[in-house]
């Protein structure tokens, strides 16, 4: 029963939130997997996970950003009210994913620099770092989809103004009617004057 409810909630969750949740979860898991390993001239090497080695601080920062995005998705999944943020949720997810990618690029550029390390003959990227790159990219993509979906929905309440003000329309009609009456009365008066002139001319001709 619990599994069915969990599956039902998961299926009802919009695709952008699923992508953010999956991407951030992959990034979290990647920090405890091997990120890089090296081999020195003595045929001995070291293997480092995301939270260890000389660049462990960058790994902890990446973990922090990934946990924050994953927590937002969990709040949405549980139907709880999201905590107040200085920016919108979708923008927060995009920024979180972009920061993870930026920190991963810095980590790679430092570790794989030829002058980093002593007597190092070989450096290799581990599966964990590849997963971190993929997870961060998926998080950014999910945040972008959230932005597009929110732009297509009418979440804010709008006010539909009247195209024509009824009172103004009635006043215009009232102003038009006297003009039409006066014009028709003027036409009738002119017609009567013409008839009188015709009758007078007829009488003069008769005399």
Q: What is the mean pLDDT of each run of 10 residues along the chain (207 residues)?
A: 66 83 93 85 78 88 93 82 79 91 92 76 85 94 84 45 53 53 55 58 52
Evaluate whether 96 touches 139 at the Cβ level (below 8 Å): yes
Number of Cβ atoms within 10 Å of the Cβ of 47: 13
Q: What is the pLDDT of residue 63?
A: 94
Q: Which of 139, 151, 137 is nearest to 18 (CA)?
A: 139
User: Cα(171)–Cα(153) distance, rounded to whole angstroms?
Assistant: 40
Q: What is the pLDDT of residue 160?
A: 47
Evaluate whether 13 touches 142 at the Cβ level (below 8 Å): no
What fold characterizes domain 2-152? Butyryl-CoA Dehydrogenase, subunit A; domain 3 (1.20.140)
Q: What is the pLDDT of residue 78?
A: 78
What does the mean pLDDT of the chain come to?
A: 76
What is the phi/psi pair of residue 72, to 5°?
-60, -40
Q: What is the pLDDT of residue 157?
A: 42
pLDDT digits (tens, 9 = 90+) for 178-204: 544 455 555 566 566 655 555 555 555
User: Cα(175)–Cα(61) distance, rounded to whole angstroms?
Assistant: 74
Q: What's the distance, CA 95 to chain centroid?
A: 12
């Amino acid at each position: 029963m619990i599994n069915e409810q969990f599956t039902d909630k998961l299926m009802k969750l919009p695709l952008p939130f699923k992508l953010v949740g999956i991407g951030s979860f992959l990034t979290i898991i990647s920090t405890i997997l091997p990120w890089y390993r090296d081999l020195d001239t003595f045929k001995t090497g070291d293997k480092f996970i995301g939270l260890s080695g000389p660049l462990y601080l960058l790994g902890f920062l990446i973990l922090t950003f990934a946990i924050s995005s994953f927590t937002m998705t969990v709040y949405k999944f549980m139907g709880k009210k999201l905590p107040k943020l200085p920016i919108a949720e979708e923008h927060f997810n995009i920024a979180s994913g972009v920061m993870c990618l930026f920190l991963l690029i810095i980590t790679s550029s430092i570790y794989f620099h030829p002058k980093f390390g002593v007597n190092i003959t070989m450096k290799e990227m581990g599966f964990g770092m590849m997963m971190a790159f993929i997870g961060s990219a998926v998080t950014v993509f999910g945040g972008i989809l959230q932005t597009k979906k929110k732009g297509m929905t009418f979440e804010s309440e709008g006010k539909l103004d009247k195209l024509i003000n009824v009172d103004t329309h009635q006043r215009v009609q009232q102003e038009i009617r006297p003009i039409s009456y006066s014009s028709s009365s003027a036409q009738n008066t002119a017609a009567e004057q013409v008839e009188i002139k015709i009758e007078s001319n007829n009488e003069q001709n008769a005399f």
